[in-house]
Structure 1
Amino acid sequence: MAKLRIGTLERLRQVEGSLESRALRVRKRLFAIVQVAIAAGLAFWVAREVIGHPVPFFAPITVVIILGLTGGERIRKALELSLGVIVGVGLGDLLVHYLPHGPWMIPLVVAISLLVASFLSKSPLVSNQVAIGSILIATILPPGTEGGGPARMIDAFVGAAIGLITIALLPSSPLNSGRQEVSKLLGIVSSVLDDVALALDTRDADALNKAMDAVHNTQPDINNMLSAAAHGREMALLSPLLWGARRRVRSLERILPSVEYTMRNARVLARRALVLCQDGDAVSVRLINIVDELADIAAELSDVFDARTPSNEAQDIPEIVRRLQVIGARSGMDAVSEQAVLSEYVILAQARSITADLLEVSGWSRESALAALAPTSATPAYQPEQWPGISEG
């Protein structure tokens, strides 16, 4: 256990800083600004010059809203936005005609609009747009005002359509963001397991306390990964330029649950290792080596998925799989010490789960991954692999 170790907090800071350099963030931001600006100007021009609306202010507004949506499902959100605008404008015209003017008009308009929207859709976007549309009609654009009425509904359609066309014709990479988030999570897993291996070797609970502080709440990172993948799927669906990447997008989506399980299992393993160290118990050298090897493999997979780091997946993944198979074959019940306590068995169980998870991240099916583990039952659900020549020491 003499290798140079990096604590989880320090590694997490490195991962955060390395995934997107400042120059890359600036380029992405500038691309987004140019994309929105061009699309908004085009929507305004189409609504005014082609359709003939003198003040089509809602066309560029809709474009900005559509292009500002994140996390995928922008097609659905664009339709919801258009529905909300249409209902809001029509309802606003109706309410302004029949409700008494005065201090109670706006509260009544908002209440009735939200009530009607609740029957149309559960989406907050629809409810907000219905209420906003009604408020605009009741205040700034009452019936008869230039730019109000049905023209505004058409402008919303124009803006939504041009927003989606812009996404299709000026797409960002459907894979980079998702792969970066996968790389980040695997980097955190590697750091946690590295700290666990060190703590088990030295029985130093303080090292694990710092690791637990760093990964106390990784759910936002998991959510970012899932959101980035959903965005990539939508980009590959919308843009003809990216239809060739659909298979790779689907492949990335298939491994996301395994990445999430890896993170959760590493968190549980770290908690149990903390309990073991606090109790003053020890684990076998083989189990420490297994955890240490898993930390190295998670780090290598993190590098493979880092879109900015050149890697040869065709060469790296088979080597990683081979190492995981060896770990799986050595992770039987005899991997614990003779006087094993409950915590040591839990650590072994979590290490086995992480081994299977990382095999799935590497492209294996769940059944094949489980079959790579040394059996712990007389009647295993999946026939274990036979690995002659693998040392059990």
Structure 2
Amino acid sequence: MAKERMSTRERLKAVDLSLQGRIQRVRNRLLPIAQTAVAAGLAFWIASELAGHEQPFFAPISVIIIIGMTGGERINKAWDISMGCILGVLVGDLIFYRLGVGGPQIAVMVAGALAIASFFSRSQLVNNQVAIGSVLIATIMPPGGDVTGIDRSIDAFIGASVAMVTLALIPQGPVRKARQEIAKVMELMSSVLDDVAAGLRARDSGVIDEALASIRTTQNDIDAMSTAIASGAESAKLSPFLWASRRYVHSLENVIPPVDAAIRTTHVLARRAHVLCDDRDEVSDEQIALIDALAKACLDISSVYELNSTQLQSVAIPRITNELRVLGGRSGMEVVPDRGVLSAYVILAQTRSLIVDLLQVCGMSRESAAAVLAPTSESPKYPPEFYA
């Protein structure tokens, strides 16, 4: 079982580098490319033909910057770009353009512009735009020239507006990328748990080394998952065509904390399993069976998100939830071997925590998830609702 799914990261990388993976990557980029191309051309046309600007270069540049943003920040960044351009014009026209051009003058302009901008906004993008605006006005766009700072501000506003309208009228799917990232993280977690179970069964910490190496690098995957869901939420907020999906996007947002917690719990479990094997101690067969079952649950959850089938989800999630509830009932103190060592108890504790995390991924509240665990206290905060 472990050998079939270990090296998940290597398999995903191999798929990504294959011809099929490259073609799929191009397909995934077609809509953003179309959005950027259409919006950049439209922004340039509006700025040049309707606004009458001779060199409206910043209109398409603003489009490219805003549409290229990820993580649900495009609305704020559109405002930051526009605000930064306006401040840059004011600072450059009113203060710095008479200084002339030269190394010392540019240094003074940039330092002064950044200091002034810091009074108006904490955004690094705003600060950068103010500094850039001041330098441009003092060098290639002096007041009275063919291209003025005011023109640049208007062009930035046009570009930002066109970008936002384009994102609203030609929206990207709000959930597909998010589901793919969740599926990837859950599959990786399944692979790690497989390796942990195999290492415990063989009492070989070397088998767990690869699992630890994989899970130590999952922060980028968590960040990608969070970014994808934030972008999806923003798309659903911007586009009237996607308003109906906002409830589902919100449900995906609620999945992020328990998935993040599950990754961290799995990391601690793997580390403790490694220590136990190094100490030549052991856990019970039932503890290993619980970890195997959790690996299967993670893979099942991954399949649900990867296949993107509402019908499959309506059937699979309740089944997975019931299986996890049974595992919670099996995870009492009695599964630890007689005279069990500290590491065995830590592994049990992390196994129980992971059951709770995965139940939350499946939609249960933390209180209800904790209540499925076999009690380990005479006065548990959440009395058991079900255990076998």
Q: CA deviation at 1:121?
A: 1.1
Q: Does 1:335 align with 2:332?
A: no
Give secondary structure in 1 for the equivalent of 2:3.
Answer: coil
8 A contact 2:236–2:242 mirrored in 1: yes
Distance 1:100 1:215, change over 3 A: same
What SS is found at the alignment partner of 1:104?
Answer: helix
Q: Provide the rounded CA distance (Å) in 1 between the counterparts of 2:152 and 2:100.
A: 24
Question: Counterpart amino acid of 2:358?
Answer: L
In terms of fraction of residues, the more helix-rich structure is: 2
Structure 1 residue 6 displacement after superposition? 3.1
Q: Deviations over 1:331-356 (max 9, x none)?
A: 01111111210000000000001101
What are the equivalent positions in structure 2 for 1:248-327 lying under 5 Å apart? Answer: 248-307=248-307, 312-327=312-327
Contact 2:325/2:386 (8 A) holds in 1: no
Question: Superposed, which structure 2 residues align to 1:117-128 within 5 Å?
Answer: 117-128=117-128
For the Cα contact (< 8 Å) 2:97–2:137, is it kept in 1?
no
Gaps of 5+ in 2: none
Residues 181 and 246 of structure 1: is their aligned pair in 2 closer, same or farther, counting only changes over 3 Å?
A: same
Distance 1:309 1:14, change over 3 A: farther
Using the aligned pairs only, state the percent identity.
Answer: 49
Question: Structure 2 CA distance, aligned partners of 1:195 and 1:97?
Answer: 65
Once residues 102 and 301 of structure 1 are traced to their aligned partners in structure 2, the CA distance between those partners, rounded to angstroms, is: 61
Q: Deviations over 1:161-200 (max 9, x none)?
A: 0011111111111111111111111111101110111111
Say how many residue pairs are matched: 385
The aligned amino acid for 2:10 is: R
- For 2:370 and 2:310, locate their aligned partners in 1 and report how far apart those are by CA, in whole Å: 30
Query: Are 1:196 and 1:273, in contact at CA under 8 Å, matched by a contact in 2?
Result: yes
Counterpart mapping for 1:1-393 below 5 A: 3=1, 5-6=3-4, 8=6, 10-17=7-14, 21-99=21-99, 102-307=102-307, 312-387=312-387, 390=388
Instruction: Flag the 1:307–1:161 CA change in 2: closer, same or farther, 3 A.
Output: farther
| TM-score w.r.t. length of structure 2 | 0.95
Tell me how far 1:221 sits from its aligned partner: 1.1
- The alpha-carbon deviation at position 236 of structure 1 amounts to 0.5
Q: Do 1:88 and 1:129's aligned partners in 2 also have CA atoms closer than 8 Å?
A: yes
- TM-score for the superposition, normalised by structure 1: 0.94
- How far apart are 1:14 and its partner, in Å? 2.2
- Whether the aligned pair in 2 keeps the contact of 1:84 and 1:127 (CA below 8 Å) is yes
SS in structure 2 at match of 1:340: coil
Equivalent pair of 1:332/1:375 in contact (CA under 8 Å):
yes
Q: CA shift at 1:108, angstroms?
A: 1.1
Instruction: Report the secondary structure of 1:122's partner residue.
Output: coil
Deviations 1:19-46 (A, max 9, x none): 8932221012232222211101100111
- Note the aligned Cα RMSD (angstroms): 1.7
Provide the rounded CA distance (Å) in 1 between the counterparts of 2:370 and 2:141. Answer: 64
Matched letter for residue 206 of structure 1: G
